[in-house]
């Protein structure tokens, strides 16, 4: 059972998300890379959540009302913004967009989102995607994720050593493979 204080707290935090969804008093538009319609947002939220957006908007031409986000599709960008406003996502959205959100969290310097995504990547790691997750960890210099992947690989080496994913990883990353196996 939810008490009155908890219910009021939920309503309080959901108010920001409601403002985003209702597009009230928007003052910036984010253009996704797939060139679909730009998504309206609020500069204040972007500045509060991201050091990179803060820098972009501090230097921004006041007449420019659009920021292009080329690495995300409309759906990914909308999910990213939902997190920015609400601080959380439904599990289905997080699972579906975790890779894109992880990369965006690093690029736009949103440590909390990166932590949420990292935890999801670790919790859902399986043999078929472990090497992709390893490349993410390496690319984004994420020691916590890299350690979790390395542990997963060493624990499951017999199961994954002859998989097509492993063979592809070895072919594309020979130095990284040697470094990983020797650890």
pLDDT at 183: 55
Separation CA 164–CA 168 (nearest Å) = 6
Q: Beta strands 39-41 and 28-32: pairing type?
A: antiparallel
1-25 exposure pattern, b = at least 16 Cβ within 10 A, e = fewer: eeeeeeeeeeeeeeeebeebeeeee
| Angle between helical axes of 91-107 and 74-86 (0-180°, round to 10) | 90
Task: Confirm if 169 and 180 have CB atoms less than 8 A apart.
Answer: no
pTM of the model: 0.80
When the pLDDT of each residue in the chain is averaged and rounded to a whole number, the result is 84
Residue range 63-105, pLDDT digits in tens: 678 899 999 999 999 999 999 988 889 999 999 999 999 999 9
pLDDT of 38 strictly over 90: yes
Across 15-24, 127-136, 141-150, least confident range: 15-24
pLDDT at 98: 97
Separation CA 171–CA 126 (nearest Å) = 20
Domains along the chain with CATH numbers: 1-122 (3.30.710.10), 125-183 (1.25.40)
pLDDT at 59: 78
């Amino acid at each position: 059972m939810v008490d009155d204080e908890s219910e009021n707290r939920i309503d309080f935090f959901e108010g920001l998300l409601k403002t985003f969804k209702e597009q009230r008093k928007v003052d910036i538009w984010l253009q996704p890379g797939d060139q679909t319609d730009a998504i309206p947002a609020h500069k204040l939220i972007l500045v509060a959540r991201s050091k990179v957006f803060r820098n972009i908007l501090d230097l921004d031409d006041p007449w420019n009302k659009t920021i292009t986000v080329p690495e995300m599709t409309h759906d990914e960008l909308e999910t990213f913004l939902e997190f920015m406003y609400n601080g959380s996502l439904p599990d289905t959205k997080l699972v579906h967009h975790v890779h894109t959100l992880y990369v965006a969290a690093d690029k736009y310097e949103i440590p909390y989102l990166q932590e949420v995504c990292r935890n999801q990547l670790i919790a859902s790691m399986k043999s078929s995607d472990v090497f992709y997750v390893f490349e993410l960890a390496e690319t984004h210099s994420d020691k916590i994720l890299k350690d979790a992947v390395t542990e997963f690989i060493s624990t499951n080496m017999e199961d994954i050593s002859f998989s097509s994913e492993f063979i592809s990883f070895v072919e594309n990353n020979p130095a990284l493979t040697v470094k990983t196996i020797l650890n």
